[in-house]
Structure 1
């Protein structure tokens, strides 16, 4: 009952994250009929372009071996082994293109449905796959019903195609009984290729329907409830407590880095107790003074304390300190409107240093 209620609550389409997580775990929409169609198509290609020439070549080689059987030396086991190797080589040459085409057809059908990816999660033991109850639900559920309909469709259509093909070829088969036996393999090959062609045409319809149904059923199984979407959104945003802690740590690191830059400042502009802005200026490498630190209240007092400990001039200017704090950014040059007044202060500081030296 709870499973039914859970399914009923999943009315929302899956999010992109839910879809990507499913794909990463190997849960992808896959049509079981596409590889079957690829196999029939491979057989059709093999019969049309490979068997006609390969069978004749293989038959000629084997007939030559049989006709000249007395010419082969079979005195011991080594001679028999060499002969078997020669026969195996000819058979291998015959089977190699057939196996290659079938393998490429199967891989192509799989890669065209989904991108290839290595998913170790799919090969891990899963006890639920051994559950008789879940197995019963798979057999008699929606998936099992669809598989039953596909099996009925394949059986009926293939039977109809085979019946119509054999009925159309009945005259040729009867006349072949009174013709040269060497023409019989070619006749059988022609009938087989027509039969496979008919099955391929019918299978195309089944593959198209199965691909559409498998993708629709896959998305339906990935549906989410409104609570699932809220939980995913909350998880994506992160825990508010953790995020607040991270912001606090980031502020602490930025504050410590700022305080470590105060000893390199040229001067500090301060409102006596509320604001402090530390500026650095080097005429050789800077176009304008750069703000290396700024703070308010306790941080402003700390900047002043560090400046006094390192004998950095502290200039008290209420309006300038307040304006620089509001407009200037750390590690950036001061705004252009402050160039003149700050330049006058720097000239004053430099003049005091010269007077102190003299």
Structure 2
């Protein structure tokens, strides 16, 4: 198998994107979500405590008869209060997850990964996924997460070992405030640590993504053939196009007024048609073998051939087929055409 050492082409990247191969770190999404939820809960917690107190007060002071209908009403009321508590958290998590994914991948809608493939059920491929490099990286990330959580948990307990016994004599509200402060301190540290792990995971995902997209020289050549066409066929097409262009040029040459030569290396045929252009224009040009063919066609069609080396070179290098002569050459061309028209007039008078 050829070594894949070349970076992916834009076409390969586009095809990979259509197949669902997109650079994305799920760890980054999870870490930013955790950080956002912790920050939201820090601001939302007083409201949560207030709503929880209202729930306890509501259930404790319920004065109705306890039957199926009243029980159902209590359940509905408590569920609504719980929804009001949890809705902002879920909404924030959803918005953050969507935003982080969009920032990583851009807007994309892919259906191909959802198509069932029997190759995914192959036990050999499954074993490769279980014991491959990606599985090892995921295991290392999970171990790091467990170590991070364990470290910060032990650190919080160790720093407050003398405080915990004193909580037995404190009021419930004070204990809740103190413990929630410790939990938020630990949550902030864990969220920031997870963000560092996510950044490392993003770098790994980027490396793995680029590695999987690498191409061999043969793949690049094959892609070029598919995009630009087979060089042999393309060469044949260009050859036919040149032949057709040559035939058209030789047909147009028959209507020329004069052919200016070098005398053998260059040949440029001019036509002056005021109904088409306000100045003389080039109907044919060529050098070497094509110049000789232009001379031959001109002789066959009784077109005047004039030798003017500097003018022939200038017209060949500066004027393309179908273009009028530039202003700096117009005087020299006008003198040539004036001579040709006088010569043609004499020819017609002699023939008459």
TM range (shorter): 0.7 to 0.9
3-state SS of 2:150 partner: helix
Q: Distance in 2 between matches of 1:63 and 1:276?
A: 102
Q: 2:149: which partner in 1?
A: 158
Change (3 A) 1:15 1:127: same
Q: Distance in 2 between matches of 1:224 and 1:46?
A: 45
- Report the alpha carbon displacement of residue 135 of structure 1 after superposing the two structures with TM: 1.2
Q: Quick check: 1:209 aligned with 2:200?
A: yes
Q: Deviations over 1:141-169 (max 9, x none)?
A: 22222222222222222122222323444
Match of 1:119 among 110, 132, 135: 110
Q: Distance in 1 between matches of 2:62 and 2:13?
A: 65
Q: Quick check: 1:240 aligned with 2:240?
A: no
Q: 1:45: which partner in 2?
A: 39
Which runs of no fewer than 5 residues in structure 1 stay unpaired?
Answer: 1-5
Q: 1:196: which partner in 2?
A: 187
Check conservation: 2:252, 2:283, Cα contact below 8 A.
yes
When normalised by structure 1's length, the TM-score is 0.72
- Report the alpha carbon displacement of residue 51 of structure 1 after superposing the two structures with TM: 2.2
Q: Deviations over 1:30-59 (max 9, x none)?
A: 33322231232123112211223x214423
Q: Quick check: 1:267 aligned with 2:257?
A: yes
- Report the alpha carbon displacement of residue 330 of structure 1 after superposing the two structures with TM: 0.8
Change (3 A) 1:285 1:85: farther
Change (3 A) 1:302 1:87: farther
3-state SS of 2:116 partner: coil
> For the aligned residues, what is the CA RMSD?
4.5
Q: Distance in 1 between matches of 2:196 and 2:172?
A: 38
Q: Quick check: 1:149 aligned with 2:140?
A: yes
Q: Distance in 2 between matches of 1:340 and 1:202?
A: 82
Match of 1:277 among 269, 281, 285: 269
Q: 2:30: which partner in 1?
A: 36
3-state SS of 1:317 partner: strand
Which runs of no fewer than 5 residues in structure 2 stay unpaired?
Answer: none
Change (3 A) 1:356 1:60: farther
Change (3 A) 1:245 1:39: same
Moved more, 147-156 or 291-300: 291-300
For 1:162-173, list aligned pairs within 5 A: 162-173=153-164
Q: 1:3: which partner in 2?
A: none
Change (3 A) 1:126 1:260: farther
- Report the alpha carbon displacement of residue 280 of structure 1 after superposing the two structures with TM: 2.9
Match of 2:5 among 8, 12, 20: 12
Q: Deviations over 1:1-45 (max 9, x none)?
A: xxxxx4xx5362424445555445432343332223123212311
Check conservation: 1:270, 1:317, Cα contact below 8 A.
yes
For these two proteins, the number of residue pairs brought into alignment is: 338
